[in-house]
Amino acid sequence: MKCKKCSKTAVVHLRQHNAAYCKEHFFDYFERRVEKTIAEYSMFEKNDKILVAVSGGKDSMTLWYVLSKLGYKTDGLVIDVGTTNLQIDSLQEFAKGISSQLKFVDIKDYLDGFTAPQVARLIKRPTCSVCGNIRRYLMNKMAYENGYDVVATGHNLDDEVSFLLGNVLNWNMGYLHRQTPFMRRTHEKLVAKAKPLVWLTEKEIYIYALLNEIPFESERCPFSKDASSLKYKKALNDLEIDQPGTKLRFYKQFQRLEFFKDNTVQLRDCPLCGYPTTSEKCSFCRMKERVEDALGKQKN
Ligand SMILES: [Zn+2]
Ligand SMILES: [Zn+2]
């Protein structure tokens, strides 16, 4: 197969675009797609300070790499929730290589010495939702306290369409409303959230990472094994094989829906930590209260 642009031998075939590329033109395609997504949603500009949420996996490492290659000012934030072994030294070395900085947070410092799986067990909630709650809260807090304009995460098209399918199957309107590639800053203490890789698939990111020799951990979180999102991913992969472009169409048509246009939610300050919330207390503080309750019960 030949490259669509230069007729050299192609290294990658993208069925959803009916196109094949050589290494050089695949990089071109990939990087332009990221730039276009950033521009399309006015996510950020070259002089904005961007905090990339880094897990060590291929998506976040690629995002960090590509944003810095494109000339954006990025730092990486690693949150150790206690589920996987983080290779901090190699992350630090990677940061140095792209003239960036690595920030590190240990959730034990915010949760009386507990890790996410321990908290989940204590309050009898799924580890994934506890972990997500902690990550969202700390990412925003770190970004706000250190003067970042935006938090960028490595969500890809496969992640987005599997969330979307799950949210549609359960008509989860609250989540559907928030499932957008960009959430602008609606409150001084609520930093903007951007997903610049949403129009790229897992496979495209994987190939880009390999060809650029971006180091990443392939270890999956041990708690996500049975998550329904994996089933939705599999179903969507089957559909995609049958009808290339299904994922892109599904997400694109969803983004065009009118209901994103009125997206104003009433925010108030959490009386315990001062960060904005839609409820009486923020979900992080409510979780901490449940931990304290559970510990109180254990003592009695
Ligand atoms: Zn080419
Ligand atoms: Zn709070």
Cα(6) to centroid(ligand 1), Å? 4
First to last CA, the chain: 70
**C-alpha 11 to ligand 1 mean position (Å):** 9
Q: Which ligand is nearest to the CA of 21?
A: 1
Ligand at minimal distance from the CA of 274 is 2
Residues with CB under 5 A from ligand 1 (ion): 3, 5-6, 8, 22, 25
DSSP H/E element including 277: strand 276-277
From ligand 1's centre to the CA of 42, what distance in Å? 29
Going residue by residue through the chain, which has 300 residues, state the pLDDT in tens, using 9 for 90 and above. 999 999 899 999 999 999 999 999 999 999 999 999 999 999 999 999 999 999 999 999 999 999 999 999 999 999 998 877 778 899 999 999 999 999 999 999 999 899 999 999 999 998 888 988 999 999 999 999 999 999 999 999 999 999 999 999 999 888 888 889 999 998 999 999 999 999 999 999 999 999 999 999 887 777 765 568 788 999 999 999 999 999 999 999 999 886 665 556 788 999 999 999 989 999 999 999 999 999 987 766
Ligand with smallest separation from the Cα of 10 = 1
* Structural domains present in the chain: 34-265 (3.40.50.620)
> Closest ligand to 276 CA?
2
Which one of the ligands is nearest to 287 CA? 2
How far out from the chain centre does Cα 265 lie? 22
Residue 300 CA to ligand 2 center (angstroms) comes to 27
Ligand showing the shortest atom-to-Cα distance for residue 288: 2
Can you tell me whether residue 250 is helix, strand or coil? helix
DSSP β-ladder status, 150-152 and 192-194: parallel
